[in-house]
Amino acid sequence: MEFIAPELLKYCEDHSSHEDEVLSHIARETQAKVMMPRMLSGHLQGKTLELMVKMLRPKTILEIGTYTGYSGICMARGLKENGKLITLDINDELEAMVRGFFEMAGLTDKIDYQLGNALDLIPQLPGTFDFVFIDADKANYINYYNLVVDRVNPGGIILADNVLWSGKVLVEEGKKIDKDTKIILEYNQMVQEDPRVENVLLPIRDGLMMARKL
């Protein structure tokens, strides 16, 4: 998943604002108690998300895929005083842990944590969004994008994680493409060709596709 040497990554982390005790605790608990801890956003990406939100000052953020709440906390910290983060996840087994983390971070008043299938929940959400972070099941990336793109305000951002898919997007000729890789390739191409947005693919961690609504 990491595309630079570990020592260079460490140098980047050492020269980024430090991970505080709440986020360090979430990272440790996720590593120790939750399956597939590599899904955690982590220090470098988390700080990137926080600074993006602080720069853009969105009123409403939609996060599709809460996991253990690390990325949600990072983004919620960047919200202006009356801002709101709506975060959706299908895994109710992590609910108690995640709500505890949100409370520990002192952000329960800024975070609307909803459980269920995002494909069903998104159409029920009122209003528009200024920032959307897609980090859920890859099979539905295109569906999520299509559900939100027309509800993102002009100048708003749609950010999708894992768009380099551990380097699998560089397909060798004649090699069979698995289903998830195929969808990531289709997602990246769809965003690239969408006249409603301008975009850049950032090689941060496993790749972030940033699309700005025109």
Inter-residue contact 95 to 87 (CB < 8 Å) = no
Mean predicted confidence (pLDDT) in 189-214: 96
Give the per-residue pLDDT at 154: 98
Inter-residue contact 90 to 62 (CB < 8 Å) = no
Give the per-residue pLDDT at 3: 72
Residue 2 has pLDDT above 70, yes or no: no
When mean pLDDT is compared across 34-48, 60-74, 97-111, 198-212, the lowest value belongs to 34-48
Mean predicted confidence (pLDDT) in 75-79: 96
Mean predicted confidence (pLDDT) in 166-180: 89
Secondary structure class of 176 (helix, strand, coil): coil
pTM of the model: 0.96
Mean predicted confidence (pLDDT) in 92-112: 98
Mean predicted confidence (pLDDT) in 136-141: 97
Domain 6-213 in CATH: superfamily?
Answer: Vaccinia Virus protein VP39 (3.40.50.150)
* Displacement of CA 186 from its chain's centroid (Å): 18
DSSP-assigned letter for residue 1: -
Give the per-residue pLDDT at 1: 57
* Displacement of CA 123 from its chain's centroid (Å): 19
* Cβ neighbours for 164, distance < 8 A, ≥ 6 positions apart: 3, 201, 203, 206, 207
